[in-house]
Amino acid sequence: KNEVEQSPQNLTAQEGEFITINCSYSVGISALHWLQQHPGGGIVSLFMLSSGKKKHGRLIATINIQEKHSSLHITASHPRDSAVYICAGILWGQSGGGADGLTFGKGTHLIIQP
């Protein structure tokens, strides 16, 4: 079982719709990242948060530490928002030596149709 779970796996919506992508994790984290990956593969870091809520333009990220859950919202979605959105956390007590490395969800493939 993946320690970081995302839903939905795929999402197709119409331009202008409000988008929500969910992320849940099974163990405590020190920080959670929301990343955007475009078809070429390059990754852009959207948010890093450990509590509360952050907003950048049309993007909003929230996290509830007690419930081990985070959401990424996109308001007034646009076709250029089409990408894979990935949540990733630095998990407490994760295996291996990379104590500060990220554990990734499988990503949500978002398509915004005009």
Q: Does 64 bind other proteins (CB under 8 A)?
A: no
Find the shortest distance in angstroms from Cβ 101 to other proteins. 4
Query: What whole-number distance in Å separates Cα of residue 28 and Cα of residue 72?
Result: 19
Q: How many CA atoms lie within 13 A of 45 on its CB side?
A: 8
Q: Using CA atoms, how far apart are residues 28 and 13, in angstroms rounded to an integer?
A: 32
Q: Does 88 bind other proteins (CB under 8 A)?
A: yes
Question: Helix, strand or coil for residue 51?
Answer: coil
Strand-by-strand arrangement of the 59-64 sheet? 4-7, 19-25, 69-74, 59-64, 52-56
Write down how long the chain is. Answer: 114
Question: Pattern of binders to other proteins over 8-27, x per CB under 8 A?
Answer: --------------------
Binding residue (CB under 8 A) for other proteins from 39, 40, 57, 114:
40
97 or 114, CB closer to other proteins? Answer: 97
Residues 89-108 that bind other proteins (CB under 8 A): 90, 95-107
DSSP-derived 3-state class of residue 1: coil
- Candidates 19, 21, 61, 86: give the one binding other proteins (CB under 8 A): 86
Contact residues for other proteins, defined by CB under 8 A: 2, 30-31, 33, 35, 40-45, 48, 50, 86, 88, 90, 95-107
